[in-house]
Structure 1
Amino acid sequence: MGSATTQALAASIKTLAAAKDPSLDTARELLAAARAVSESSQLSGALADPSAPAVARQNIVTTVFGAFSAGAQDVLKTVATERWSNAGELVDGIEELAIRAAAIAEPGVDIEGELFGFSRVIAANPELELALGSRVGGEGAKSALIERLLAEGSTSAASTLLITSFVREPRGRRIRRLLNRAMSIVSSQRGRVVATVHTAAPLSDAQRTRLSDSLSRRYDGQVALNVVIDPAVVGGLRVQIADDVIDGSISARLADLRQKLAG
């Protein structure tokens, strides 16, 4: 992400935060805008053109997205006013704003956990990931497949909106990468970080609370847990937060011991 994009995104996030009660409709409209801009090189080029007057770029927003809510239009006008490093990052920025809008609209929903759960389903089914990423089959077939999968659980409207959008418009990206990015954005919006915990056996509520509290103290902020049952861990835990890995598993200790004996 270029420095211009960083500043543009920060300004756009402020406009979103100032919007009056962003709803899932706001998120839906922003996702639709991201898709429209992505599919039109003429539109993306016009909005990302730093040589064009800001007023002219805002007028484009009014012309193209005039049927959107006032909140969504305000956010898109800020996007159009700011300078982005390139048109691709402008589209990514609109998509991020949509994800943040969904997180704001559903504050009591564990969106990160639901996206993580869906990501694990895909990870366990390579054929499913291939089907979702393939250009064969068409958008309608993929959407129908996702609807069937989500209907089997109790996925929230916010997570359903995001997952469906990612499947319809991956823009050459793998679905799990999109889900991981969305989880990170939702956590950032909510002022917390997510720890992925690998354990051989499920954690009790008390264990989850102790681990979350311990990590929150270590990272000086709220930490949410995504737990993966992984028999390869053998015992103990393997915790990953961003690029940090805390490996207290028995398998890691055995590997370390073997290395010492071999050396």
Structure 2
Amino acid sequence: MRGLSRSSLAEVEERFNAVAGSADLGTLSDELFAVADLLDREHGLRRAMSDPARPSEQKAQTLRTLLAGKVSEAALATSETAVSAKWSRPGDLADALERFGVAAATAEAESLGKLDDVEDELFRFGRIVAANTGLRRVLVDLAVPEEGKRQLLRDLLGGKVAEPSLRLIAQAAVHPRGRSLEAGLEEFGQLVAQQRQRLVAVVRSAIALSEEQRQRLSAWLRTSYGRDVHLNVEVDKRVLGGFSVRIGDEIIDTTIVGRIEEVRRRLAG
């Protein structure tokens, strides 16, 4: 988010932080996702709630009338602050509420001591979906009812991943909001990492890294970037040797394949 939306996001964050401490974090996450989904679905409501010409108090009262008794006070307070703020574009309002839905799930994971698990499980499920075309087809099929997708995910992942992971995976699958499923999972993983003020590195290697190798790589990246870095390691036989690291748009490539491609580029030049 940029400009006006960035400052509004900070306002909502302040309110969210004030109310989240006493809330049921799992419920708060689900409710903020639900409000974001409502705004995505009801275009007229979204336009009205994000209209900068309408008085903030009027928008907040309209939302309270609509949601009172249906969501917790924490979700209502966060949502009221969001609709009272001004946004650079209407879609930023729903984006912000989804973002704080992720923040609530992240806080839930931290309270359970499961934050590392959530980061790993989002990444692993993204790779499972990419490799299983049948599963992916069902999860992205608009004709499959939302509850059918949620039940499928509960059957597949219930008791096997942390509850916040299941919550975030379900949101990415059931309400993609214009993203591919893989992109949604990656975005949520990045947001989870941001809550810990650390970067996420996707590492591709021909073989699984030992714990010592992971620690050495983490230490090197921490020194290079000045921040903690969470490693998501993907074993890829096509790498042949060495490894590559992607952090955002930056790629560090020490693979044999990468070196061959570099030689080819130089020869072609």
TM-score normalised by structure 1 residue count? 0.93
User: Mean alpha-carbon deviation: is it higher for 208-217 or for 120-129?
Assistant: 120-129
Residue 45 (structure 2) aligned to one of 43, 46, 64: 43
Matched, 1:119 2:126: yes
Matched, 1:8 2:5: no
Matched, 1:101 2:108: no
Deviation at 1:46, TM superposition (A): 1.8
Check conservation: 1:37, 1:44, Cα contact below 8 A.
yes
After superposition, the C-alpha distances for 1:103-135 in whole angstroms (9 at most, x for unaligned) are: 112212222211111100011123322221122
Deviation at 1:222, TM superposition (A): 0.8
Deviation at 1:260, TM superposition (A): 4.5
Structure 2 counterparts to residues 40-189 of structure 1, below 5 A = 40-67=42-69, 68-107=71-110, 108-109=113-114, 110=116, 111-151=118-158, 154-189=160-195
Check conservation: 1:31, 1:165, Cα contact below 8 A.
yes
Structure 2 gaps of 5+ residues are none
2:266, 2:42 → 1: CA distance? 58
Residue 74 of structure 2 aligns with an amino acid whose one-letter code is G
Matched, 1:207 2:213: yes
How many residues align? The count is: 262
1:13, 1:82 → 2: CA distance? 12
TM-score normalised by structure 2 residue count? 0.91
Check conservation: 2:205, 2:236, Cα contact below 8 A.
yes
Residue 103 of structure 1 aligns with an amino acid whose one-letter code is T
Residue 75 of structure 1 aligns with an amino acid whose one-letter code is T
2:27, 2:142 → 1: CA distance? 28
Deviation at 1:261, TM superposition (A): 5.4
Deviation at 1:84, TM superposition (A): 1.1
Map of 1:237 onto structure 2: 243
* SS at 1:50 equivalent: coil
Deviation at 1:258, TM superposition (A): 4.3
Deviation at 1:223, TM superposition (A): 0.4
2:172, 2:254 → 1: CA distance? 35
1:195, 1:140 → 2: CA distance? 33
Percentage of matched positions with identical amino acids: 34
1:205, 1:16 → 2: CA distance? 37
Check conservation: 1:103, 1:190, Cα contact below 8 A.
no
Deviation at 1:141, TM superposition (A): 2.6
Residue 201 (structure 2) aligned to one of 183, 195, 201: 195
After superposition, the C-alpha distances for 1:152-210 in whole angstroms (9 at most, x for unaligned) are: x6211111111112222223421111111111111111211100000011111111111
**CA shift in 2, pair 1:86/1:69, >3 Å:** same
**CA shift in 2, pair 1:65/1:204, >3 Å:** same
* SS at 1:170 equivalent: coil
After superposition, the C-alpha distances for 1:28-71 in whole angstroms (9 at most, x for unaligned) are: 11011111222212321221011111111111222122222222
User: Mean alpha-carbon deviation: is it higher for 153-162 or for 113-122?
Assistant: 153-162
* SS at 1:19 equivalent: helix
